[in-house]
């Protein structure tokens, strides 16, 4: 579909959908933009995701909890380090997209390094290639399985755990 702001070909990105918008963030070439696609008009919009706020990454998860709020977790950074960060992104209302496509706010709400004083069994380790899902009836984001070599640089580990993050 032709569009000025169409993203490059990509893999290992995260997507989220809330009618009529499809959102895409990150990829293996560390693209620093959040892209939005309107499924009825077939138009792409680009919203800036500055590297000074969130380090570009791939293999992360992103889940949408409202029309304007997304949560991002984990992934691999440009330095090929696993991330244990949880970010909340708040976008301007969708009707303002055409007037102010760059208007959004990002807040780091959790980081493995910050929380490492807790018991290791209480917090997820930095990971990538996992999934995240929002459960509105419980007010939780569930982070499911994944991959990590956080504790062993020579051996990648498949994870088989499920974590719940209260909103």
The share of the chain scoring above pLDDT 70, in percent, equals: 74
| Composition of the chain by helix, strand, coil, percent to 5 | 5, 45, 50
Tens digits of residue pLDDT in 30-65: 877 788 888 898 888 877 666 667 888 899 999 999
pLDDT of residue 84: 87
pLDDT of residue 37: 86
Cα atoms in the Cβ-side hemisphere of radius 13 Å centred on 137: 0
pLDDT of residue 124: 82
What is the number of other CB atoms lying within 10 angstroms of the CB of residue 5? 14
* Top-confidence residue, 157 or 150: 157
């Amino acid at each position: 579909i032709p569009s000025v702001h169409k993203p490059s070909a990509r893999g290992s990105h995260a997507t989220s959908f809330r009618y009529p918008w499809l959102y895409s963030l990150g990829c293996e070439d560390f693209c620093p933009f959040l892209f939005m696609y309107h499924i009825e008009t077939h138009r792409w919009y680009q919203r800036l995701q500055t590297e000074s706020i969130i380090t570009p990454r791939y293999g992360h998860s992103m889940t949408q909890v409202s029309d304007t709020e997304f949560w991002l977790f984990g992934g691999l950074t440009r330095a090929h380090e696993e991330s244990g960060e949880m970010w909340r992104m708040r976008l301007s209302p969708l009707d303002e997209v055409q007037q102010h496509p760059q208007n959004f706010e990002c807040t780091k709400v959790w980081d493995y390094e910050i929380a490492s004083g807790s018991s290791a069994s209480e917090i997820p380790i930095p990971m990538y290639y996992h999934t995240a899902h929002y459960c509105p009836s419980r007010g939780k984001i569930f982070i499911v399985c994944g991959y990590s070599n956080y504790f062993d640089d020579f051996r990648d580990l498949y994870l088989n755990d499920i974590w719940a993050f209260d909103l």
